């Protein structure tokens, strides 16, 4: 065990003293909570007789001891509540050791206690729980980094991002507002799920361990299954499995999918992330655009009470409808180049003129993607549908009904980043096989994100898939937008970190 600090040793000594006094610092018995901080305040009635009896529980976050009485600030899962503690109330017999020794000397900030008593308003007007009984529920052996003020300057604040993300359990306790981010995260998921369920679509589960990493262009994590003696991949997307279900006769399916991509990490990328994908039969990408903007408008209203959110210096409106711009129009607008009909050599020349770094493994799709990503993507702050991508960029997408060089695809850009990606799904098995072959050839050139041919998926399409539209949305990025955060680590409870260095 690592060397204990002085404060940690003091707390361990207090633990042993409690036990020597017959008080178990980690009791097994249930403590039934009957009130929470926010609800107690919201429902307080000065005229109620007799006053309301409650049982509350939480952490001690501060305390003021004044001889035979004390005030404690208790933090529960809903907020903070003041508790008044009188020695004679919690120690009705002659022995006052529980107050004089246990409460005053052995309990510390961070300890969990349970309190039973009644609610009243103090002379200063603060709604408070008057304790009649106090129970030790859990002893904290490490001191919390509580912010302190001295001469108007805050110190001991827990604001180092490295520590906050690594010790989220501390971050949630001491930093105001962090818990609200994750409460809103749940609201975002629930709002989206309710929207889909109201339309009659079914939530499903598909495999995380896959024999072929399909459904996206990304570098996978690889593992080995001992019993089958085969390599397996953590999924990079669930698209191909959900389409199989449309083949099987479901009209609308969706999944909140935990995906894994063995790629870079930055303020908007984590190797483990959550994506929602939905597929609806007999629809196209035009229908999906309208469906997506209605869904996002509703989520923003339900989570924030308005269709506008502030992210950094930008105020973003999710009021439908959103702007629509084709991919070629976007590139022409921001670079002056019309890439319509350009071959690979011409696109390489455009990249050279635009000073965009490329490598020999990149085909037409990757080159166009680099141009858009470097010169266009970051300019779209308000929600904007970028539509009609070149066919080389979209191996799973139906060809455009009026231009076979393009596909019926859109990406939704918000605050300079992709939020959603959607297609009129390719349901021609022959065309799909040829697209997979093209991807395989890119892989032979060195593109480690090129797709692998999924022969079973081709077989499923050969049984027939109806016209279908699908859409995937990055849930972590959506939560970032709805909570005004600019780093993905702020909306992941436990973001990926390097192993902690040991002393």
Domain co-membership, 352 together with 248? yes
Quote the pLDDT of residue 154: 62
61-76 b/e (C-beta count within 10 Å ≥ 16 → b):
bebeeeeeebbbbbbb
Domain co-membership, 364 together with 223? yes
- pLDDT confidence of 365, banded at 50, 70, 90? confident
Please report whether residue 308 resides in a domain.
yes
Res 152 pLDDT > 70: no
| Residue range 133-150: mean pLDDT, rounded | 89
Tell me the per-residue pLDDT of 127-137, one tens digit each, with 9 for 90 and over: 999 999 999 99
Do residues 368 and 393 touch, judged by C-beta distance below 8 A? yes
From CA 468, how far away is CA 254, in angstroms rounded? 13
Domain co-membership, 184 together with 45? no
- pLDDT confidence of 442, banded at 50, 70, 90? confident
Domain co-membership, 186 together with 140? no
The pairs formed by 122-125 with CB atoms below 8 angstroms and a separation of 24 or more are: 122/82, 122/84
- Phi, psi values for residue 409, rounded to 5°: -135, 150
Domain co-membership, 138 together with 248? no
Quote the pLDDT of residue 447: 76
| Residue range 54-73: mean pLDDT, rounded | 97
Please report whether residue 456 resides in a domain.
yes
Domain co-membership, 126 together with 206? no
- Phi, psi values for residue 2, rounded to 5°: -65, 155
Share of the chain above pLDDT 70, in %: 98
Quote the pLDDT of residue 394: 85
Domain co-membership, 120 together with 182? no
Res 1 pLDDT > 60: no
- pLDDT confidence of 267, banded at 50, 70, 90? confident
| Highest mean pLDDT, choosing among 36-45, 361-370, 390-399 | 36-45
Quote the pLDDT of residue 440: 86
Res 407 pLDDT > 80: yes
Structural domain harbouring 187: 178-490
Please give the helix or strand (H or E) that residue 231 lies within, else none: strand 230-234
Quote the pLDDT of residue 503: 59
Helix locations, 59-131, DSSP H? 87-90, 97
Quote the pLDDT of residue 414: 97
From CA 288, how far away is CA 278, in angstroms rounded? 10
Domain co-membership, 129 together with 208? no
Tell me the per-residue pLDDT of 275-298, one tens digit each, with 9 for 90 and over: 999 999 999 999 999 999 999 999
Quote the pLDDT of residue 488: 95
Count of domains observed in the chain? 2
CATH number at residue 70: 2.40.50.140
| Residue range 412-428: mean pLDDT, rounded | 96
For residue 414, what are the contacts with CB-CB under 8 A and spacing of at least 6? 316, 380, 381, 382, 383, 384, 481
Higher-confidence residue of 255 and 369: namely 255
The lowest-confidence range among 3-7, 31-35, 59-63, 370-374 is 3-7
| Residue range 263-274: mean pLDDT, rounded | 91
CA distances from 116 to 55, 105, 130, 133, 207 (A): 4, 21, 8, 5, 48
Name the one residue in this structure whose structure tokens are 């635009």.
Answer: 354
The lowest-confidence range among 145-149, 362-366, 430-434 is 145-149
Domain co-membership, 138 together with 233? no
> Which of 474, 473, 391 minimizes the C-alpha distance to 426?
391
Please report whether residue 171 resides in a domain.
no
Please give the helix or strand (H or E) that residue 245 lies within, else none: helix 239-247
Do residues 468 and 174 touch, judged by C-beta distance below 8 A? no
Q: Tokens for 340, please give them.
A: 């319509």
Share of the chain above pLDDT 90, in %: 83
From CA 474, how far away is CA 275, in angstroms rounded? 5
Domain co-membership, 230 together with 297? yes
| Residue range 15-20: mean pLDDT, rounded | 97
Positive or negative CA dihedral for 199, 202, 208, 214?
negative
Number of residues written out for the chain: 503
Higher-confidence residue of 306 and 155: namely 306
Please report whether residue 173 resides in a domain.
no
Do residues 135 and 114 touch, judged by C-beta distance below 8 A? yes
- pLDDT confidence of 335, banded at 50, 70, 90? very high
Please report whether residue 499 resides in a domain.
no
Domain co-membership, 437 together with 347? yes
CATH number at residue 351: 3.30.930.10
Quote the pLDDT of residue 238: 94
Do residues 113 and 103 touch, judged by C-beta distance below 8 A? no
Do residues 120 and 33 touch, judged by C-beta distance below 8 A? no
From CA 117, how far away is CA 130, in angstroms rounded? 5
Average pLDDT, the chain: 94
| Residue range 456-460: mean pLDDT, rounded | 96
Res 123 pLDDT > 80: yes
Please report whether residue 502 resides in a domain.
no
Parallel, antiparallel, or unpaired: how do β-strands 209-210 and 222-225 relate? unpaired
From CA 83, how far away is CA 102, in angstroms rounded? 17
Picking from 94, 126, 144, the residue at the C-terminal end of a domain is: 144
Please report whether residue 295 resides in a domain.
yes
Please report whether residue 501 resides in a domain.
no
CA distances from 191 to 1, 183, 257, 259, 484 (A): 46, 12, 16, 21, 18
| Residue range 10-35: mean pLDDT, rounded | 96
Domain co-membership, 75 together with 221? no
pTM: 0.91
The lowest-confidence range among 151-155, 358-362, 429-433 is 151-155
| Residue range 11-16: mean pLDDT, rounded | 97
The lowest-confidence range among 187-201, 261-275, 441-455 is 441-455
Name the one residue in this structure whose structure tokens are 């991919």.
Answer: 327
Tell me the per-residue pLDDT of 194-253, one tens digit each, with 9 for 90 and over: 999 999 999 999 999 999 888 888 899 999 999 999 999 999 999 999 999 999 999 999
């Amino acid at each position: 065990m690592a060397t204990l600090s002085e404060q940690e040793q003091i707390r361990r000594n207090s633990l042993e003293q409690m036990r020597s006094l017959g008080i178990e610092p980690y009791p097994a018995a249930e403590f039934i909570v009957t009130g929470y901080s926010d609800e107690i305040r919201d429902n307080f009635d000065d005229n109620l007789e007799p006053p309301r009896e409650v049982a509350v529980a939480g952490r001690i976050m501060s305390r003021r001891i004044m001889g035979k009485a004390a005030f404690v600030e208790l933090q529960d899962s809903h907020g903070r509540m003041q508790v008044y503690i009188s020695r004679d109330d919690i120690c009705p017999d002659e022995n006052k050791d529980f107050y004089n020794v246990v409460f005053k000397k052995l309990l510390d900030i961070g300890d969990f206690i349970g309190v039973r008593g009644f609610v009243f308003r103090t002379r200063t007007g603060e709604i408070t729980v008057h304790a009649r009984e106090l129970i030790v529920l859990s002893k904290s052996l490490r001191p919390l980094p509580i912010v302190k003020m001295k001469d108007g300057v805050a110190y001991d604040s827990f604001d180092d991002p490295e520590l906050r993300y690594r010790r989220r359990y501390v971050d949630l306790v001491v930093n105001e507002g962090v818990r609200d981010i994750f409460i809103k995260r749940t609201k975002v998921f629930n709002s989206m799920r309710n929207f889909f369920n109201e339309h009659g679509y079914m939530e499903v589960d598909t495999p995380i361990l896959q024999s072929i990493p399909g459904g996206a262009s990304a570098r996978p994590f690889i593992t080995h299954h001992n019993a089958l003696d085969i390599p397996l991949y953590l999924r990079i997307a669930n698209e191909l499995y959900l389409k199989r279900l449309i083949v099987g006769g479901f009209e609308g399916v969706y999944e909140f999918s935990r995906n894994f991509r063995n790629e870079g990490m930055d303020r908007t990328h984590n190797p483990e992330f959550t994506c929602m994908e939905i597929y609806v039969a007999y629809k196209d990408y035009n229908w999906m655009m309208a469906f997506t903007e209605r869904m996002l408008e509703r989520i923003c209203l339900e989570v924030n009470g308005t269709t506008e959110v502030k992210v950094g210096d930008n105020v973003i409106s999710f009021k439908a409808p959103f702007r629509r711009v084709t991919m070629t129009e976007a590139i022409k607008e921001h670079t002056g180049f019309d890439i319509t009909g350009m071959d690979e050599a011409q696109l390489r020349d455009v990249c050279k003129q635009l000073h965009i770094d490329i490598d020999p493994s990149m085909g037409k799709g990757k080159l166009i993607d680099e141009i858009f990503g470097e010169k266009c993507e970051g300019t779209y702050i308000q929600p904007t549908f970028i539509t009609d991508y070149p066919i080389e960029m979209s191996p799973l997408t139906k060809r455009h009904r009026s231009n076979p060089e393009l596909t019926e695809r859109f990406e939704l850009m918000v605050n300079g980043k992709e939020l959603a990606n959607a297609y009129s799904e390719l349901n021609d098995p022959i065309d799909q096989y040829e697209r997979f072959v093209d991807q395989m050839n890119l892989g032979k050139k060195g593109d480690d994100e090129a797709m692998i041919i999924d022969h079973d998926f081709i077989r499923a399409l050969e049984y027939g898939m109806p016209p279908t539209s699908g859409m995937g949305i990055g849930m972590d990025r959506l939560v970032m937008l709805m909570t005004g955060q600019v780093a993905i680590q702020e909306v992941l409870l436990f973001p990926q970190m390097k192993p902690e260095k040991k002393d």
